[in-house]
Structure 1
Amino acid sequence: MKNDMKLTFKVAISILRVTLFITFLVGGIFYLEDIPIKVSLDVLITAIPTIVLYVIFRSYFKIAYYKRLKKIRTFTSIKQLPNTNDLIELEYQRILSDSLKKTADQVTKLEASRRDIHDRYAIWMHNIKVPIAALQLMVENGGNIEGDKRYRMLVQINAIKSYLSEMLNLISLRNGNNDLKITKVDTNTIVRHILKRNSWMIISKNQSLQFSANLPILISDRRWLEIMLEQIIVNASKYTPNEKKIYIKSTSSKNIIIQDEGIGIDENDIKRIFETGFTGETGRDRIEATGLGLYLVGEIARKLGFSIDVASVKGQGTSFIIRQKVEE
């Protein structure tokens, strides 16, 4: 609409410009030839409407042609293009057809390449889980490994497993995995499972956990909701110093609050923490930070229809408030 108005305005200016030009040209010629003013005016009165009509008709066909070209932008195949006997427009259509075909071929190849890479990553990560599990059993049953050393080795093995799961979940999301099974989910139960799986991290840092078992029952997909909450809880533990506290609670039937006494997030970074690969000021100080965990959280939240508000004070801690959106 805006472009149409611009074109109409240009046409009006064109008509005015041509009219003034003809008026001054004819007037100048008649003045130099000393032709009577009455004759000059008669000629102008006769000529100007004809010129104006010519400009209007010419502009009309230009506007019509412009609108036809504008429609072509929405076409995805040559079969949709309008029939025409205009040789120039036919050539444009041939060029567009070739361009559409080349683009479609490139998209197909890129999509096949993307699927192949994702499949290879997924297979590699599934395969590597087997030797990691075997290594974990060897460490757990290794009688000649000192207790403290064994524990530290298990901590690192669990960290590797956590990063692998993070990548597998990311690949699943990127592949458009829509295997949602919407049911009533007792969030108290899934938080207990998360805490049990990651107890080694909390214990190793001697952190204090305050879990109020009053979390709501939500209508959601259990698996993806658990993955989202686990990422936030693990992050809370990871960025909370030894002997500090982590709180998991709820203040309504639709929210879950995960709060820590950790190192906090810089105020300028809060709005970007759900971007892929973004680690911020906090992450740059930690070599193991990947920026994938919270990106995964943001993607799952959108997938499940949750909003996440983040409040943080540098050096004092961070709160994640997860709310399920309620349709009006």
Structure 2
Amino acid sequence: MDKGIWCEAMSLGRYLRDRAVACVLLVICAFGVAGMFMVLGDGVQAAVLGACFVVACGAVVFAYDFARRRRFYDELVRFTDDLENAYYASSLLEEPEFLEGCLTFEALEATGKAAADDVAAHKQQAEAYRDYIELWIHEIKTPIAAAGLMAANLHGSEATKLKGELDRIEGYVEQALYYARSTSLARDFAIREVPLESVVRGAVKKHARFLIEQGTTPVIELGRDVRVFADAKWLAFIVGQLVTNAAKYGATQVRFSTRTEGEGTPAARTVLEVADDGPGIPAADVPRVFERGFTGQNGRMLGSSTGMGLYLVSELCTKMDLGVGLASEEGSGTRVLITFPHDRRRLDTTLFLSKA
């Protein structure tokens, strides 16, 4: 309920207007009592005193009723506004004593239970669907691998194209697998200290055929002693998405470099920068590049963009408590920065994102 509507609905004036008949009857009773005192010969003062007493009693009843109703509805609005899922409100509210409140409370309980049951059923369906998708992905990898082995014995330009298409199929299947995992509440990854250069080189090697086709050269300027906290497979997938994205949009070079920020402080971090010399991203599209399904101007021109690559990069970084940011200028390439906190108990990405 909107706060302005609530305040107007529960104002004293609205409350009294809603009980206009009761107010009129109270005034009639007051005049009636005053009239009886006059008829009985008790005088004007007794009549006025009797009328005032009736009005005062009525005012006390109205004030008490208004206060308890306002308290209940105030709590109801506060809980429904503050809670992410409003159907939990009935479990936090105290059952009121007045009839309308009791009926409202019972309706909230019934609605809340139905909503909770519905959410649980949908979660169960989503889990079952995700399990099926993961099983299907693992099963489909077998014929893809078999086709790859058969294609390895073929030669010529057509064979090269076939191998490239198989790589693309495998890439999309892998993307679907990580999308399914990114929507799971389970932590199906392990954060360990991994050598960053080894992970980057492995990801680049995996997509070497595509990079050669696109004429994109990777430049890896990472020290062998640089180690970060992450899940090696998830990080390799992230790097793969970034490098193939750059190649897909026409970059001739993708450069990997690192720097350390805040060294010697609790907020120390290693920043991996993936910079390409591609066409860049229009300024209007930059704030939305991590949105699911967003392809932007460049993606629409390319035609084959799914808008899932950078979305998955963002989701997996969030899952692993890594910071991610992007800076780009149209015609000047794009930089994606991933920050790895040295202390896994802290992650302050505000400074990092502001620098990006």
Matched, 1:91 2:107: no
Cα distance in 1 for partners of 2:87, 2:111 equals 12
Deviation of the 1:265 alpha carbon: 0.9
1:159-238 equivalent positions in 2, closer than 5 A: 159-214=168-223, 216-238=226-248
Q: Where does residue 130 of structure 2 map in the other structure?
A: 118
Unaligned runs of 5+ in 1: 26-39
Q: Where does residue 70 of structure 2 map in the other structure?
A: 66
Residues 224 and 4 (structure 1 numbering): CA distance in 2 closer, same or farther, change over 3 Å? same
Cα distance in 1 for partners of 2:305, 2:5 equals 51
Q: Where does residue 335 of structure 2 map in the other structure?
A: 319
Q: Where does residue 32 of structure 1 map in the other structure?
A: none
Q: Where does residue 35 of structure 1 map in the other structure?
A: none
Deviation of the 1:189 alpha carbon: 1.0
Deviation of the 1:227 alpha carbon: 2.1
Q: Which amino acid aligns with 2:334?
A: T
3-state DSSP class of the match of 1:120? helix
Residues 75 and 195 (structure 1 numbering): CA distance in 2 closer, same or farther, change over 3 Å? closer
3-state DSSP class of the match of 1:251? strand
Moved more, 174-183 or 251-260: 174-183
Q: What's the CA shift string for 1:95-130, capped at 9, x where partnerless?
A: 333323322332232222222322222222222211
Cα distance in 2 for partners of 1:13, 1:96 equals 24
Q: Where does residue 140 of structure 2 map in the other structure?
A: 128
Q: Is the 8 A contact 2:69 2:101 kept in 1?
A: no
1:1-328 equivalent positions in 2, closer than 5 A: 6=7, 10-11=11-12, 51=55, 54-55=58-59, 58-71=62-75, 73=80, 76=88, 82=94, 86-142=98-154, 145-146=155-156, 148-214=157-223, 216-241=226-251, 244-252=252-260, 254-325=270-341, 327=347
State the TM-score, normalizing by the size of structure 2: 0.72
Q: Is the 8 A contact 2:87 2:112 kept in 1?
A: no
Moved more, 5-14 or 230-239: 5-14
Cα distance in 1 for partners of 2:237, 2:272 equals 14
Q: Which amino acid aligns with 1:96?
A: L
Cα distance in 1 for partners of 2:6, 2:91 equals 30
Unaligned runs of 5+ in 2: 28-43, 81-85, 261-268, 349-356
Q: Which amino acid aligns with 1:248?
A: F
Q: Is the 8 A contact 2:72 2:96 kept in 1?
A: no
Q: What's the CA shift string for 1:199-230, capped at 9, x where partnerless?
A: 11122223222211237322233232222222
Q: Is the 8 A contact 2:293 2:308 kept in 1?
A: yes
Q: Is the 8 A contact 2:87 2:115 kept in 1?
A: no
Q: Is the 8 A contact 1:240 1:260 kept in 2?
A: no
Cα distance in 2 for partners of 1:89, 1:10 equals 17
Deviation of the 1:258 alpha carbon: 0.5
Cα distance in 1 for partners of 2:245, 2:124 equals 34
Q: Which amino acid aligns with 2:228?
A: L
Deviation of the 1:260 alpha carbon: 0.7
Residues 315 and 52 (structure 1 numbering): CA distance in 2 closer, same or farther, change over 3 Å? farther
3-state DSSP class of the match of 1:96? helix
Q: Is the 8 A contact 1:7 1:63 kept in 2?
A: no
Cα distance in 1 for partners of 2:271, 2:52 equals 74
Aligned residues, how many?
306
Moved more, 103-112 or 272-281: 103-112
Deviation of the 1:285 alpha carbon: 1.4
Q: Is the 8 A contact 1:272 1:278 kept in 2?
A: yes
Moved more, 218-227 or 63-72: 63-72
Cα distance in 1 for partners of 2:90, 2:274 equals 55
CA RMSD of aligned residues (A): 3.8
Q: Is the 8 A contact 1:276 1:292 kept in 2?
A: yes
Cα distance in 1 for partners of 2:330, 2:137 equals 36
Residues 43 and 297 (structure 1 numbering): CA distance in 2 closer, same or farther, change over 3 Å? farther
Cα distance in 2 for partners of 1:284, 1:164 equals 22
Deviation of the 1:137 alpha carbon: 1.1
Cα distance in 2 for partners of 1:75, 1:60 equals 29
Residues 48 and 194 (structure 1 numbering): CA distance in 2 closer, same or farther, change over 3 Å? farther
Q: Which amino acid aligns with 2:254?
A: I
